[in-house]
Chain A
Amino acid sequence: MAVNVFEDWLNACSGCEISILNIGDPLVDLLNHLNFVHITPLIDHKLFGQLGEKTEMDVPESVVSILSGGVRNDEQKHELQEIRKKTKILIALGTCACHGGIPAQANMFKNEEVFEKVFRQSPSTEPSPDPVDPSVPKWTPTCAALDEVVKVDISIPGCPPHPDWIVEAITALLEGKTAWSLPERSVCDTCPVIREKKSGGGPVKRWLQNMEFNPEEGIDKMRCFNEVGYLCQGPVTLAGCSGKAGVPRCVQARPPCRGCFGPIRKGAQPMVDMMGALSSVGLDAKSMLDRRAMLNRYIGAHGMLKVLPARPTK
C-alpha cells in the first residue's frame, strides 16, 4: 500500500525537488509506493481549500513529511508547526532545512538592513516602504533551520542532497524503519587527490586561478587544494555529495569544496576546525578573506551567523 507523503518547500530554491526528479528512471516505480497528499511543484492540492474558501491553513494528515528550505517568515513557521502536528515522520531535506543554507547568510545582518537595501537602496527600484500587507508574511527574527522550530526525525543534508540518499532514506521508511542518517565521514575521506600533509606555506590563496592539472589524468593525480594553498572545506564537511560512489562533486569540476553538506557531526565547530586544518598544513589561516561568511556559508542557522555589534566610532 502506498504511504501518504506531504512535501513542500519553505524558504527554498526548489533545487531539492529537482534532486528528487534526478532520481531518474527509478522514480517512476518509486512513485507507485508514495501517495503525495501535497507537493506544490507537482500536484494541485491547496492549503486553503480547493475553492480557496478557507481562512485557516488546512494541512492534511500524512505518515511522512518531506520539507525543503529553512524558516524565513511567520507563515512558513506556522505551516511547519501544523505539519508537525499532522505527520509521524518529519524529514528535513537539504541543507537549508538542516542548517539554514545560503539564505541564512542574511543572519549576519539586521532584518531592517536587508529590507532597506532591497526596497530603498537598489538602483533600479523606486524607494518605497516595506511591503506590509497581511498577505505578505512577516520575516522571522532569523533564517532558521527546521529543528529550531519543531522536532525533526530525519535529516538529509546537501545542497542539493544527492538522489541516492533520498532514495535510501525513503526506502528505509517504506521498509518500516524510523531512523536514517548519513555516515559521519568527511569529504576528504571520499576525495582521491594527492595529500602530503604539507603546503608551501603563506597566505590562503583566492580562487582567482585554476588548479594545475593534466585534464587527461584522473583527480587522483591532482594535488589537494589546501596543500596548494586554496581554501577547501573538505576536512570539515560531511561526505556524500556524490552519492554512494564517486569523487566529491565540486572536485570533479576541479574547484574546491565550500561545505554544502554542512558539518560532519552535530555540535561540530567547522570554523575553528577548518582554521586548524589550514594551519596544520602550514598555511596562514588568519589571512583568509571574509572567513566568517566563507566558513559558515551553508550553516548560518543555529546562531552560527549573527549580527555583529557595531564597531565603536572614534
Chain B
Amino acid sequence: MSTVINLQPITRIEGHTKVAITLDDAGNVIDTKVHGQNLRGFEKFCEGRPVEEMPRIVCHICGICPWAHHLASSKATDGCFGVTPPPTAVKLRRLMQSIAYVSDKILHFYFLAAPDFVIGPDADYSVRNVVGIIKAAPDIAKQVVHMRHLGAQMLEGFAGRAIHPTFSVPGGVSKPMIETERQKMLGPAQELLEFSKFSMKFAKENVFPKYMDTIKSLGVIEVGYLGTVREDGALEFYDGKLRMMKSDGSYEDFSYDRYLDYIGESVLPWSYQKFPYAKKWGKLNLSLENPVGVYRTNCLARINVADKMATPLAQAEFEEFRAAFGRPAHYTLLYHYARLIELLQAAETVVQLLNDPEITGANIRAQVTAKAGRGVGCVEAPRGTLIHDYECDNEGLITKVNLIVGTTHNNAAMNLSVNQTAKTFIKEGKYDQGILNRVEMAIRAYDP
C-alpha cells in the first residue's frame, strides 16, 4: 500500500496550495504534486468592463503585489487606447512600483522566509515563525514591522491606497506630485535604503554562509529563466524587453507583444494553476531527470538574465553574487540572496526617482479616447514576469483578457523542486516535521 503525505495548507506563502507526496511500500518517494487549489476567473468576468476600469479591478488579483497588477493593467490599457503616458507619469508609476517592491521584499525575507533560517528549519512549528522571531530578537522584529509598514505609509500618503491602488489610469496617473509631498518622502526613502543595506549585510554574515550546504542540496534543479531587461541589458522592473534563457545560459530577447510565440500553457488535471512552458524548447515535460520547457521567473531569474543591475550598490552585490555562483545560478535557495540584491536596487531607485526634477512635473496624463484596440501590458511583479493582454471593441469595452501572472510561470519549476527535495530527504519511510518543512522551503524560495 502506498502512503500519501498531505501537506495542507502550504504555509508562509501567499497562495492556496497543498503538496501531496506519495510513498511506495518501502517508504520511498514515487510521486509529488503541488496542487494549485483556487481559481477565480478574472479572464472571464473582466469581459464587458470598460477598459479604463481595469487597473482598479485586476489589482485585486493579489493583495501582496496589487501595484504590479495595477501597473501591468495600466500599460495594457495604454495599449488598447493607443496612448503614451507623459514622462512624469511613467516616473511616478515607477516610483510607486519601487516602493511597493521594497515592502514586498522585506515582507518575504523577514516574515515568510527568515523563520527557517533564523529560528532554524527543524525548530518546532510553534516558534518557527514571525512571532517566534519577535520573542527571540525583539529589536530586529520591531524594526522589520516598522520598515515594512513605512513603505505602505509612503504609498498611502501620496497615492491614497497602498493595497488595491487607483492611482494609475490609461494614459498616465491621477495626480501629480507636489514639492512638499516629494520632500516628505525623502526621509523615509533614505531610511528604507539604509535598512536594505543592513538586510543584505545581515544575510551575508548570518544566513547564507551558515546554510551553504542546504543551499547546494535543497530544491536544486537546472532549468531556464525569464525576466525583463533594459535595452542595455540591466535588470528592469517596469518596462523593457523579455529575455528567455536556457539552462546553459544562451538566451533570446523578444518584445512583450510577441509573448504568444514563446510561451504556451499546459493544463494538468490535478491543479487549477496552469503550467506555462517555453514553446520553442518542446512539449512540457516535468521529469526531474530530463525536464523540457521548464523555466523560472522572479528574482533569481531576473538576476540570471540581466547583464548588470541598474543601480550602483545593487551592482556591487550582483558582481559578488555572479563571481560566487556563475551565470545562470541554479541553486533554488539563492532566490533569497537574489531577492535582497533586488531590494537594494528597488530602494536605490526610490531615492533616485525622488531626486529626479521631472518627478514633480505637471503633465501627468495623455489625452485618452475610447476606441478598439489591443494592449499587452507587462511588468516584472515581485514574483515574476506579469503579462496582461487585453482586447476591446469600438466602445472601449473589454472583449478578451489573457493573464499570465508571476507565480504561474514557476508552477512547473516548483513541482520539480518539491520532487527533488522530497526524493533527497525522505528515504525508507523516514521523515519528520523538519524534513517536511524542507519540502515547503523549496516552495517558499519561489515566494508563490
Binding site for B on A (CB under 8 A): 9, 11-19, 21-22, 24-25, 27-28, 31, 36, 40-48, 50-55, 72-73, 75, 101-103, 105-106, 108-109, 113-115, 117-119, 122-126, 128-129, 131-133, 135-137, 139, 143, 159-160, 206-210, 213, 215-216, 249-255, 258, 260, 289-290, 293-294, 297
- Inter-chain contacts of A25 with B (CB < 8 A): 142, 145-146, 149
User: Is A11 a contact of B38 with CB atoms below 8 Å?
Assistant: yes
User: Is B265 a contact of A131 with CB atoms below 8 Å?
Assistant: no
Interface segment out of the listed B199-207, B322-330, B363-371: B363-371
* Most chain B beta carbons < 10 A, residue from A11, A48, A115, A207: A207
In the bound assembly, the distance between CA atoms of A36 and B126 in angstroms comes to 9
Given contacts A53-B5, A126-B264, A293-B48, contact A139 B61 (CB under 8 A): no
- Partner pick for B175 among A208, A215, A249, CB 8 A cutoff: A215
- Partner pick for A118 among B41, B370, B396, B432, CB 8 A cutoff: B41
* Most chain B beta carbons < 10 A, residue from A31, A73, A135, A293: A135
Q: Could you list 7 examples of A-B contacts with CB < 8 Å?
A: A18-B152, A27-B145, A44-B125, A46-B7, A119-B267, A135-B270, A137-B37
Given contacts A43-B129, A124-B259, A210-B175, contact A18 B160 (CB under 8 A): no
User: Is A128 a contact of B6 with CB atoms below 8 Å?
Assistant: no
In the bound assembly, the distance between CA atoms of A254 and B172 in angstroms comes to 13
Interface segment out of the listed B161-169, B211-219, B228-236, B243-251: B161-169
- Inter-chain contacts of A108 with B (CB < 8 A): 45
- Inter-chain contacts of B395 with A (CB < 8 A): 289
In the bound assembly, the distance between CA atoms of A113 and B162 in angstroms comes to 33
- Inter-chain contacts of A118 with B (CB < 8 A): 39, 41, 43-44
Query: Chain B's nearest CB lies how many Å from the CB of A56?
Result: 11
User: Is B63 a contact of A16 with CB atoms below 8 Å?
Assistant: yes
User: Is B11 a contact of A45 with CB atoms below 8 Å?
Assistant: yes
- Inter-chain contacts of A137 with B (CB < 8 A): 37
Query: Chain A's nearest CB lies how many Å from the CB of B115?
Result: 8
User: Is B44 a contact of A109 with CB atoms below 8 Å?
Assistant: yes
In the bound assembly, the distance between CA atoms of A45 and B9 in angstroms comes to 8
- Inter-chain contacts of B21 with A (CB < 8 A): 52
User: Is B11 a contact of A44 with CB atoms below 8 Å?
Assistant: yes
User: Is A114 a contact of B48 with CB atoms below 8 Å?
Assistant: no
Q: B40 contacts the other chain (Cβ, under 8 Å)?
A: yes
In the bound assembly, the distance between CA atoms of A257 and B316 in angstroms comes to 45
* Most chain B beta carbons < 10 A, residue from A13, A122, A206, A251: A13
- Partner pick for A42 among B39, B64, B111, CB 8 A cutoff: B111
Can you list, as one digit per residue, whether each of B44-65 has a CB less than 8 Å from chain A (1) or not (0)?
A: 1111111011001100111110
Q: B8 contacts the other chain (Cβ, under 8 Å)?
A: yes
User: Is B265 a contact of A294 with CB atoms below 8 Å?
Assistant: no
User: Is A40 a contact of B266 with CB atoms below 8 Å?
Assistant: no
Query: Chain B's nearest CB lies how many Å from the CB of A259?
Result: 11
User: Is B146 a contact of A24 with CB atoms below 8 Å?
Assistant: yes
Q: B190 contacts the other chain (Cβ, under 8 Å)?
A: no
User: Is A250 a contact of B128 with CB atoms below 8 Å?
Assistant: no
User: Is B368 a contact of A208 with CB atoms below 8 Å?
Assistant: yes
**Which 6 pairs from chain A and chain B are nearest by CB?**
A15-B63, A252-B160, A128-B267, A253-B160, A133-B270, A52-B5
In the bound assembly, the distance between CA atoms of A108 and B48 in angstroms comes to 11
- Partner pick for B265 among A46, A53, A122, CB 8 A cutoff: A122
Given contacts A102-B57, A253-B174, A254-B174, contact A13 B276 (CB under 8 A): no
In the bound assembly, the distance between CA atoms of A293 and B57 in angstroms comes to 11
Query: Chain B's nearest CB lies how many Å from the CB of A28?
Result: 6
In the bound assembly, the distance between CA atoms of A142 and B233 in angstroms comes to 47
Q: B356 contacts the other chain (Cβ, under 8 Å)?
A: no
In the bound assembly, the distance between CA atoms of A11 and B37 in angstroms comes to 10
User: Is A122 a contact of B43 with CB atoms below 8 Å?
Assistant: yes
User: Is B37 a contact of A123 with CB atoms below 8 Å?
Assistant: no
- Partner pick for A13 among B7, B62, B402, B436, CB 8 A cutoff: B62
In the bound assembly, the distance between CA atoms of A135 and B21 in angstroms comes to 12
- Inter-chain contacts of B68 with A (CB < 8 A): none
User: Is B6 a contact of A249 with CB atoms below 8 Å?
Assistant: no
Q: B186 contacts the other chain (Cβ, under 8 Å)?
A: no
Query: Chain A's nearest CB lies how many Å from the CB of B227?
Result: 18
- Inter-chain contacts of B20 with A (CB < 8 A): 135
Query: Chain A's nearest CB lies how many Å from the CB of B42?
Result: 8
Q: B252 contacts the other chain (Cβ, under 8 Å)?
A: no
Q: B389 contacts the other chain (Cβ, under 8 Å)?
A: yes
User: Is A250 a contact of B160 with CB atoms below 8 Å?
Assistant: yes
User: Is A250 a contact of B265 with CB atoms below 8 Å?
Assistant: no
Task: Across the interface, name the chain B residue whose C-beta is closest to A52.
Answer: B5
User: Is A12 a contact of B63 with CB atoms below 8 Å?
Assistant: yes
User: Is A260 a contact of B266 with CB atoms below 8 Å?
Assistant: no
